[in-house]
Amino acid sequence: MSGSLSDDLDSVDMTGVLQGLAGRCADVLGLASGAVVAADGNDELTLVAASDEPTRLLETFAVERGQGPCVDCHRTGTARTGIDLGHPAAAARWPHFTARARRTGFAVAHTLPLRPPGRGAAVGALTLFQRDPGPLAPDGVALAQALAALAAVAVVQGRALERGRIERDQLSAALTSRIVIEQAKGILAERWRMTVDEAFAVLRDYARTHGLRIAVLARGVIAGEVDTTVMRTAGRARRP
pTM of the model: 0.63
The reported pLDDT for the residue numbered 173 is 79
What is residue 158's predicted lDDT score, i.e. its pLDDT? 67
Q: What span, in angstroms and rounded, lies between the C-alpha atoms of 128 and 125?
A: 10
In the chain, what are the domain boundaries? 2-161, 172-238
Q: Residue ranges of the chain with pLDDT lower than 50?
A: 1-12, 240
Distances (CA, A) of 27 to 30, 74, 129, 143, 224: 5, 23, 11, 12, 62
Spatial separation of the C-alpha atoms in residues 230 and 79, rounded to whole Å? 69
Q: Is the dihedral of CA 85, 89, 91, 97 positive or negative?
A: negative
The 3-state DSSP class for residue 232 equals helix
Check residue 143 and give its pLDDT: 80
Phi first, then psi: give them for residue 133, nearest 5 degrees.
-65, 155
Rounded CA gap, 173 and 163, in Å? 15
172-238 matches 2-161 in CATH topology? no
As a CATH number, domain 172-238 is 1.10.10.10
Task: Tell how far CA 15 is from the center of its chain.
Answer: 9
Residue 4 confidence (pLDDT): 42
> How high is the pLDDT of residue 235?
61
The answer to whether the CB of 126 falls within 8 A of the CB of 151 is: yes
Give the model's pLDDT for residue 12: 45
Distance CA 64, CA 84 (A): 22
Write the CB contacts of 53 (distance below 8 Å, at least 6 apart in sequence). Answer: none
Q: How many CB atoms lie within 10 A of CB 80?
A: 16
Could you tell me how far CA 213 lies from the centroid of its own chain? Answer: 29
Query: Domain 2-161: which topology?
Result: Beta-Lactamase (3.30.450)
